[in-house]
Structure 1
């Protein structure tokens, strides 16, 4: 009878082979992250209407067979929204509610130095005569910019048409700012913003820049400048150029009063209001005594990087980390703590743990009618 062997003298080739296969498979699993930080097996352009909205969709020929929707894997933990978005190749979604088309707005957009291949555009246009005119003008501008010969093409452009008309009889500046129109106008604007956001926000989006269609002048490095502060929500100061009737010389004046620091007076006013009433800023009949960023400008030119923490923000030019919206912060079309639209958004974001910031000495300029 042969002696009992307690151990093998050597390892069989089959065992060594299995160990090698397991080791190679484990290493592949660890280091098989996609080339893009968030997406694998996605093409540069979408081939199906059900493809991710962050990718441009190219229609197939009418007689061609439509390919099936792609299966795409996203690695959200690798998505960044950093102080250096260009170096990290972070995608930006610029969203604009568009009631009127201003050529100066489009030219200002084209002059942004952020890589256009990392920018997607989204527009929402109301129903009605003015909306139809804005839509036609936008179509012309988009067709020219997105042509094959254009060097300023954007990654994608999405245009939505609302099925409702604006609650205002016209979109003139004087009509828009009447106090009695504010609740209906801003509720409608909130719904438009939310529709646009929820339709276009893709899983590869790092930043959302809300840019009103009447912002006609901003620094070419607007996106990089705002993102460099690495804040979840940040807003520049919005002013307006005009000709002073007293001196007949060019001058500037504050325009957006929705970026502010709250006050005890405003809180006391809110405490006495009905649940559906809203506080409004910039009206003498509703003095809130909040600290308005519009009046925080340093004389003789101050540090453009100076930051102030805000309780309310305006939406003329507003940069938001996409994760803030993904967490659920949207634009309430109803009284939310007696605030609505962009100011309500700042309050909702704060309830979710995100802080809003402003740059009192960094300017964008609103169209002057």
Structure 2
């Protein structure tokens, strides 16, 4: 007697096979690879890239002339796993510290070494001008790098990149007086923008969580600098920058506001911009161009809360922490008049246009000494 079609449909073997196939299909669709994402898989030290086309986050070592070069690897990065949180150490978030460097200061390098953030999660990037002073700085930097990277494991950084600046240097003198002349600002800051962009685009990797821009003059800071800034979990955040100097009237060391690039915009500044030509820029801190912006340099409160935040429209670059996603979205340092702003101030404007907000810490002081002097950060 022939089996009916309805009975064949409910055959236990058929149902079993269908169930196994269904489970297998669902497992294939929703399962994740057993190997962790490169952003989470960290070792005490990075591997050496086998090929120059390997991921930018790995250092590349050239092979000898008689060695056969291995093909570049194919690596898949799950960008959703690259976090930026208020607990960067707990979440093993990688930090890229970038420094435009015209002169080398031993104190700056010593300061990097004493940062308490795990060095295996820190990559360094430098861009140095191609001139006599830059050659000297490069030689000094390479000596320290060699000593550090061959020393104790805990002091070594994940990777270090040195770029030699390929753009024209507008100012041959790096004296503080020459650097801050108003007539030199547009050319100087345009060159700085190009250097920053070259350094950023060359060094940022798919596993980078945060980018810390740090001036080469900062030679003393709290060991917890990175954690302090990241704990606010803001897209762009900057401390207040002061300068230590000898006050002849007091016959003692004193402090004064230094970085005027962190500010809240004003209607007067906006009116000035409306009357400017397309290529003209607004500058802060010059009596010839009074903008009446609210400068974070003057928001400091004696014994004030160092965690106090203010929303900013412009930022300076002495110690500037940026979520890597802000840069990945396209926020860079304009070397041209962008809404009549340039370099770090233009960066804040560009980040804002992309939907990212900048913040400042008026009571977290970054002391920036005269060139050649000591800088310190007070918390």
Tell me the TM-score normalised to structure 2 length: 0.91
1:72 is aligned to 75
| 1:248 CA drift (Å) | 2.1
The answer as to whether partners of 2:167 and 2:194 remain within 8 angstroms in 1 is: no
In structure 2, distance between residues paired with 1:4 and 1:345 = 75
CA RMSD of superposed structures (Å): 2.1
In structure 2, distance between residues paired with 1:2 and 1:277 = 92
Change (3 A) 1:345 1:11: same
| 1:148 CA drift (Å) | 4.8
2:189 is aligned to 186
The answer as to whether partners of 2:40 and 2:81 remain within 8 angstroms in 1 is: no
In structure 1, distance between residues paired with 2:152 and 2:41 = 29
In structure 1, distance between residues paired with 2:187 and 2:131 = 17
Query: Which deviates the most, 108-117 or 54-63?
Result: 54-63
In structure 1, distance between residues paired with 2:135 and 2:357 = 38
1:335 is aligned to 337
Query: Which deviates the most, 260-269 or 28-37?
Result: 28-37
| 1:22 CA drift (Å) | 5.4
Q: Which residue, out of 318, 322, 325, partners 1:323? A: 325
Are 2:112 and 1:127 aligned? no
In structure 2, distance between residues paired with 1:41 and 1:131 = 34
Matching of residues 94-113 of structure 1 within 5 Å: 94-113=97-116
Q: Which residue, out of 309, 330, 351, partners 1:307? A: 309
Secondary structure, counterpart of 1:237 in structure 2: strand
1:116 is aligned to 119
In structure 1, distance between residues paired with 2:217 and 2:3 = 94
Query: Which deviates the most, 288-297 or 14-23?
Result: 14-23
Change (3 A) 1:7 1:274: same
The answer as to whether partners of 1:37 and 1:79 remain within 8 angstroms in 2 is: no
Are 2:288 and 1:282 aligned? no
Q: How many residues align?
A: 367
1:23 is aligned to 23
Change (3 A) 1:181 1:2: closer
Tell me the TM-score normalised to structure 1 length: 0.94
The answer as to whether partners of 1:236 and 1:364 remain within 8 angstroms in 2 is: yes
| Structure 1 unaligned regions, length at least 5 | none
Are 2:260 and 1:272 aligned? no
For each residue in 1:122-162, what CA deviation from the matched residue of structure 2 results, as whole angstroms up to 9, or x when unmatched? 11111111111111111111111111545311000011112
